[in-house]
Amino acid sequence: MRIDGKNIETLLENGPASRDAVFDVIKKAREAKGLAIEEAAVLLRAGDHDAVSAILDAAGAVKERVFGKRVVLFAPLYLSNFCTNGCLYCGFRSANKTVARKALEIEEVVKEAAALVEMGFKRVLLVTGEDPRWGLDYIIACVRAVYEKTGMRIVHVNAPPMDVAGFRELKKAGVGVFQAFQETYHSETYGKMHPWGMKKEFAFRLGVMDRALEAGFEDVGIGPLLGLYDFKFEILSSIAHSLHLYERFGAHAHTISVPRLRPAEGGALGAPPYPVNDDEFKKAVAVLRLTVPSAGVVISTREPAGLRRELLHIGATQLSAASRTNPGGYTNGGGKEILEQFSTNDHRTLSEVMASIVEEGGLPSLCTSCYRSGRVGGNFTEKTVKGEMERFCHANAILTLKEYIADSSSPRFRHARAGNGVKGLFQGALNAALDEIKDEAMKKAVMEKLKELENGKRDVYF
């Protein structure tokens, strides 16, 4: 993997793109087949107010065409905040000596994941700093324990890059998506931001997904940390990265995350060198959606609730919720004394975030089906581009919402699901979603599965 920085800079030169050029690209983008990098550059260079609005509208339409109304929810689980790297922007950096560090024991990881299951989560993203004392073997032990001892259905991992042999081991443990962010695709900026530690090596970081896919991973998640360098350069480079994976392995990045820099206690960066305002951020999300329609675009709790609502109409497909960025944050009463990686910006519960999705006309989904039904990698990319995924997404969102509603009354889960008052809202959304299924055979099949859920069966999906 190589990023041709010069070519990317060239594509972004020459000031605002003409209205006509932008509208031509939007027309093509609406077909939901993706765009070339040159076309993405035209969208990023749009300056005209109407043209930018049209980009955002088109992104919402393409999202709905590819994935329907569903918005997937997940939570991060921080395993350890020990780190030997020096990333200037991160509170976990090794030079931050004044704060409490913690690596969860395996039993603590299980407790944290179980707490998330009680809240209603079915997918978790394990996140950790880079320290050989809590390296690959530890991560694998955590993954296995979460599967064996909690009801979590899929475990994704955001961890430091490893070699091919390491990825093989991680894959064997049953990890769904491996995620690692390039942070910045601008090599000079990368060098400045990562002054020491394993993460210093730009090329090793950039090749991470090639190694993961070589090792047998099928779904990988990429992303730039917005605020370190020009956002247009970073978005175009992320697209180039995904296109490279598609050309080499037949699968686009499964997810593209767009973390935007947040204040980090003990970080060494201060204000972001290239702040990204909300309008730019929206445009970035929309261009990703239009250029790589098969990719999940992930918006974390780094963003405030109001903006996350807006982004649902601009192409976002996955939201984290109720997140804590300190190890142990879900079980030790907030655990504020243990260092957070960065401060979050949306403190709503899972059920509140789900309610807001319904209020915006979407359908909250706790689905984990694709990873467990072989709709992964190139198969997932192909199905989404052909428009075959929407019916699975819609049906599975209905089923997981039903399960969430049913379990929210059970004594085991009730106390962890604040906001049970929204059950009526969820039931209304479920009924409306069922009505929207046009294919009678599919509708019948969904209704049968809903019956199974009513009769106490769980984990029912297509």
The footprint of ligand SF4 (CB under 6 A) covers: 83, 85, 87, 90, 92-93, 129-130, 199
129 near ligand SAM, judged by CB under 6 A: yes
Please, what is the minimum distance in Å from the beta carbon of residue 260 to ligand SAM? 7
Supply φ then ψ for residue 103, to 5 degrees: -115, 125
Tokens (6 digits) for 176: 């769904």
Per DSSP, what are the bridge partners of residue 224?
A: 183
Please, what is the minimum distance in Å from the beta carbon of residue 436 to ligand SF4? 41
Tokens (6 digits) for 429: 């959304």
Please, what is the minimum distance in Å from the beta carbon of residue 11 to ligand SAM? 24
* Stretch touching ligand SAM by CB under 6 A, among 127-135, 245-253, 285-293, 449-457: 127-135
183 near ligand SAM, judged by CB under 6 A: yes
93 binds, among ligand SF4, ligand SAM, none (CB under 5 to 8 A by kind): ligand SF4
- Residues 258 and 181: their CA atoms lie apart, in Å, by 9
The residue to which tokens 């069966």 are assigned: 457
Which of 189, 128, 123, 171 has the alpha carbon at shortest distance from 150?
A: 123
- Residues 215 and 208: their CA atoms lie apart, in Å, by 11
327 near ligand SAM, judged by CB under 6 A: no
Tokens (6 digits) for 124: 């978790």
274 binds, among ligand SF4, ligand SAM, none (CB under 5 to 8 A by kind): none
326 near ligand SAM, judged by CB under 6 A: no
Pairing of strands 363-365, 177-179: unpaired
Sole binder of ligand SAM in the list 59, 175, 245, 261 (CB under 6 A): 261
Angle between helices 106-119 and 136-149 (to 10 degrees): 50
126 near ligand SAM, judged by CB under 6 A: no
Helix, strand, coil percentages in the chain from 3-state DSSP, rounded to 5: 50, 10, 40
302 binds, among ligand SAM, ligand SF4, none (CB under 5 to 8 A by kind): ligand SAM
130 near ligand SAM, judged by CB under 6 A: yes
Using the minimum distance from each CB to ligand SAM, give the nearer residue, 227 or 362: 227
Using the minimum distance from each CB to ligand SF4, give the nearer residue, 66 or 142: 142
160 near ligand SAM, judged by CB under 6 A: yes
Tokens (6 digits) for 293: 């329609």
Cβ(344)–Cβ(258) under 8 Å? no
